[in-house]
Amino acid sequence: MSEPQILSPIAVPASKLTPDQIGYDEQEDRLLRIISESLDYYRKQIEKAGKWHRRLTVSTMVLSLLAPVFVAGSAAADALKIPGAALGVIGVLITLVIAIIEGVKQIYKFGDQWSSAYTAKLAIRRARDEYKFNRIGLVPGDDAWKQNYHSLRAAYESASNAQTQDFFRTLQQPDK
């Protein structure tokens, strides 16, 4: 009969950790909690930005198809016994709505926000998963544990900083 596998990443039971090791373990818990909260934040940002990007893009597409129909319909309105001026006004109003939607898309750049948040979320999740895998069997506070911990912190900060820079860079750049 083989020994049961130990699935816990801690090689030493928590009750046998030294005070220094307990401090490192608490530090690890804080960082993993921050990372978990960040992943939740990015998940919400991805949802929100993706939803608004799709809504605005589909609205632009549909209204762009309708505007010429109303403008052209105003020329043939007399034959259809419809007031041509009303159709022309509707066509102009649809065109104005399209312009406003495009302005909102230019200002908020939801597609770029979605992409940036998605990239950050993937990088952070990948770093966290790699950390947890490499953490198996390490004792809190030993050199290998510290190296693994610092790698996770650096990857988290790098991804967060890159996402923040992307966010502000895309808000400042006009679309080409």
Rounded Cα distance, 96 and 116, in Å: 30
* pLDDT of 135 above 90: yes
The CA-based angle 31-32-36, given to 5 degrees, is 120
Per the structure, the complete domain to which residue 129 belongs is given by 18-172
**Looking at the domain assignment, is residue 116 inside a domain?**
yes
- The answer to whether residues 148 and 135 touch, using CB atoms and an 8 Å cutoff, is yes
For the full predicted model, state whether its pTM sits above 0.85.
no
Rounded Cα distance, 134 and 119, in Å: 22
**Looking at the domain assignment, is residue 130 inside a domain?**
yes
Q: What is the CATH number of the domain that holds 167?
A: 1.20.1270
- As for how many domains the chain has, the answer is 1
Q: Does residue 167 sit in helix, strand or coil? A: helix
Q: What string of DSSP letters covers 79-131?
A: HHTS-HHHHHHHHHHHHHHHHHHHHHHHHH-HHHHHHHHHHHHHHHHHHHHHH
**Looking at the domain assignment, is residue 3 inside a domain?**
no
- The answer to whether residues 98 and 149 touch, using CB atoms and an 8 Å cutoff, is no
**Looking at the domain assignment, is residue 139 inside a domain?**
yes
**Looking at the domain assignment, is residue 133 inside a domain?**
yes
pLDDT tens digits, one per residue of 31-61: 999 999 999 999 999 999 999 999 999 999 9
Rounded Cα distance, 127 and 141, in Å: 19
* pLDDT of 136 above 70: yes
**Looking at the domain assignment, is residue 143 inside a domain?**
yes
pLDDT tens digits, one per residue of 141-154: 999 999 999 999 99
